[in-house]
Structure 1
């Protein structure tokens, strides 16, 4: 009864108030007795009261069901991508997906980023990014960047949840999971809008300008959008824009193929097959291109011919489930090889490794770096094992593991171990590398108006770096300032011009030797760093470590009076007797000095930013 009294009181008060209102024309009283008018008024009040809590109405949505990223949360940044969604000028893209956050890892940036680019395939000719917009938000902090790029105005970004990470951790990360609605809106001629919300956290970007056209064809006004998870995974659900390659339906899908992971190289004789393969997993591809990570517990294993004798075996792996876990119409299989061998009771070094002396150079870029190590080079090493029956056999080095070498001067023991835990040691020595200054030719590399395109200029002759030595280069770096990669690049290669690795000023590189490198930089604020690189005084050191690797270290004294550092340690696949250094440019130019730049105060390094080209 008390609720009825309250409702009656509200309507009586409203009626008395309405009797005093007159229309603006003719003084007629509004027709407050109209049921339609009363309903509309109540609806408008309710709509206004709830407008901030309602989801935007999504129309024209289609099923688009697939997974982005590994479901064990191990996908690194820039390793898993959604489809491309093209958004034309005047169009709006709406998408829905489930974002799964690792419950055991509160590293604040391990969620996902929306990347907005021009209408070119990722990494293709002319590919340009407007920017990346990650779901987490840390304000305008230079250290903890949650968005980056040169063509989005992030001062207009905002979020209902601001993170303040401590040691890169923030429990607020867990609030970002769940069903996410993403909107990229180009429907208004004077704004550009991004909205990401899961009902708990909402992050927005509302720019008071329209996006510029970065396509080489001015008639092509499309942008592309794609999602990149890191340490998380996305189960995509729906989109109102058909992606390149088409929608993926929610109907169950049969498996088509699979790729095996973590198949062991060597297995102890008489080990049960399921035990030997317990760490194996598979990426299964289903109809419509959908993929899923499948653990060993859902796979069937067969060893051909057997597990009871030594030698190379063929592993046949069978999977017979649909995407939704039903019995598949036709099972699929994949194959790999592994070795079954008897493991030794003890091992000993019978021939020392070919390279027993390593070298380390410490520049201001790595001063104060703790726990720095060097990779052990087993070339020439011979290890002999003694087995249960008393026989001795030379071990295959690929079946052994080796401890790393401390990057400090002195003598160090390297531990050599078998897969069954038997170990021995061998001794190596680390010495400080001698640095020699080098002046390349030409002294001006690249056109002085910064018009030289990528790979358009090189040294007349590569600079050789003998085993154990370091070469120092000093130059002034000038840049067009268009992109982070429009700065100096260091090329490591042999005398036949086969590349070991190429590394850039902006904490990125490639090549066979790059995958093993430890790299880090101090460019925590990309915009400030890029501006500071025009006229920056740069010192670069390249060291031939003597273990089949090389180190590249750089110190960049910016035009803003600040010092930035960059290093790549342990670039591998290097022939210690054939390491040469070249420089190249990309819409920048370098002016080499004939003397080394003087020492300055070097600022401490920051965490490497999450940006990649």
Structure 2
């Protein structure tokens, strides 16, 4: 018996030493052995420590979430994420993973990269994004641009070399094929120059190698954070490590052009402000552009604001991208100096005359179509630019008068504008159109078998994209999704793709430009046969009527709920 126990101890010690020897190399792979659980825990802890150890210039990072996203491609946008990776200044983060898109026909169903401030908590106070970059050479900026204009996202700085490998004139079908199962490496270089440089290289199983790059300004001193986001995709994370930054000097570039917008068309005599709400945008030699500080803009021709008539203003800017002085770029604009305004008259009503509100926030007035005629002190008349007017909408339901005002050099003159005000029962999205995708939702509405749910709302949109309009989610009570459909003839989900039928009568050339102020009635019908239909009946502010319909979405008729989600817009639900 003693001999047998001794042999067991020797065998166990040999197993431990063999395991220690295996994890002593610089790779971060785990080694599983047939041993008691406490022994495996000890080996795992050594592997974790080894993965995050500093080996000279390289600091390996342990990856906690090795499989990011659902392998059945059911991960919705902003639902499944990689670990947070902190990148100190003067460090480069290198990530390697296998990308899977399941053969999707959508370019964006691959990896997505978020670069944020040092607050490594998406739901934490102070969290803000520098940008989100997609693998299909697209992206957008975040809240850090509100803190410092140097942190603004610039789509012009995204470059790629995606080839048309099959010669059919379409690079994107080749891109999607290459990305499914591709080995991807992404370098996020946080340079001490106050810039971040992203280089993403994908090697497809088809042998094709593709590269995407992007760079923009970030904090030169504070840490930044990076993480990956799934969108009907998933990733197998392999490697993460930090090395010293490869960028110590950024080449300066000169401005090549300047554009001025937002300057006044008319200015009352006696008012010396010829710039008003003007914005100067400079384009640099590297293709980037940025709004520049008005303090850095000079005026080589200053108008005489004490006499009537048309005036010319010459504008110049002479700083490089890094703020050094060099050759100037110039442009000019004109304005009219007029007599004092003594009265206003509404000569053409605006397109939008119905406004819905919820709570105490007043909706933004849309002056599209509005014509206001001014009478001047000399008895002459002229049409005022709507940008020079101020509007106040009363938050009282019913037929009301909004106030339209012109603030002149000598005083303020006003008139009234009849509107219909509707008080809503709830609201989805922010009035300033800042709501990001998949961040704000309506209540869930249960739809019983054989019944319909009708949701009536007014949509207010920044009108930048077609999808800045209400989207409808069909899901179970536990939030498992059947599908998501947009107002602009697009949808996805297990119950939709290749199953449902979509029809509409849109004119997509003017779809986005008619979103603001539209009345939208969404009807979700539970057919009782494990299918559902969704109908959008839309009335533009102009009175023009259109529809979008989805038929035959597969659901469980005994467990059907619907909800709304919004992006770049908001809706006021009235019933």
TM-score in terms of structure 1 length? 0.40
Between Structure 1 and Structure 2, the one with more strand by share is 2
